[in-house]
Amino acid sequence: MSTLTQWAPAVLALVLVASPGIWRFSRNTITIAHEGGHALVALLTGRRLEGIKLNADTSGVTVSRGRPTGLAVVLMYVAGYVTPSLLGLGAAALVTAEQVRPLLWATVVLLAGMLIMIRNLFGVLSVVLTGAVMFAVSWYATAEWQAAFALFVAWFLLLGGVRPVGELQSRRLRGRAPHSDADQLARITRVPGLLWVLLFAVVTIGALLLGGRMLLPL
């Protein structure tokens, strides 16, 4: 891999996350991962998943039925903010192992599964577009460009997983997130919402450091 294709994905990912104007649009991809995390954990813990909505303002909601308290619902709420970073860490591991095409195809399969549960037009368009890009790269791009794109995906998920946690706490301080995942967890567990935000921060920053350490030697 050339120096350009080695470093350009990381720089591009950083620009998409750090630039306020661009982040308003690129954040939708992180929201897909966020809501997908809620949905997957809901299914794995035996809750009944009823649907997912992805909104144009980059917010989203996953509706499931089950007990309003207990370990299952706690895990479901925790999953949202940490899923993009954990997916980025997994992507970094696959890229390091030179399993680029399996990474791309696994992403397409996960998006296809998520599409079944989307309940609004914007959400459908977001998931279909993201899946189409993944499919096109896996099917038409050369091996070098596939590797560069996989690097970008890993970096974007790792970097993009951190920023929403800071945004969450900023909204909480201004009283604009009374129903956030952290506050829902606080009501269920009686553990302060700030501690849940700190947990999200530890996981997302830890994943970035670990994933970055895996990817930088490449």
Contact partners, residue 154, CB within 8 Å, separation at least 6: 88, 91, 92, 95, 211, 215
Taken as a whole, the chain contains a residue count of 218
Distances (CA, A) of 19 to 22, 33, 138, 166: 5, 20, 28, 15
Structure tokens at 149: 């794109």
Indicate the number of domains in the chain: 1
pLDDT at residue number 177: 87
**Phi first, then psi: what are they for 176, rounded to 5°?**
-105, 10
3-state secondary structure of 98: coil
For the chain, give percent helix, strand, coil, nearest 5. 75, 5, 20
pLDDT at residue number 151: 96
Domain span at residue 168 reads 3-215
Tell me the pLDDT tens digit for each residue of 127-159: 999 999 999 999 999 999 999 999 999 999 999
Cα–Cα distance measured from residue 1 to residue 4, given in angstroms and rounded to the nearest whole number: 8
Tell me the pLDDT tens digit for each residue of 67-111: 989 999 999 999 999 999 999 999 999 999 999 999 999 999 999
pLDDT at residue number 189: 96
pLDDT at residue number 7: 86
Contact partners, residue 98, CB within 8 Å, separation at least 6: none
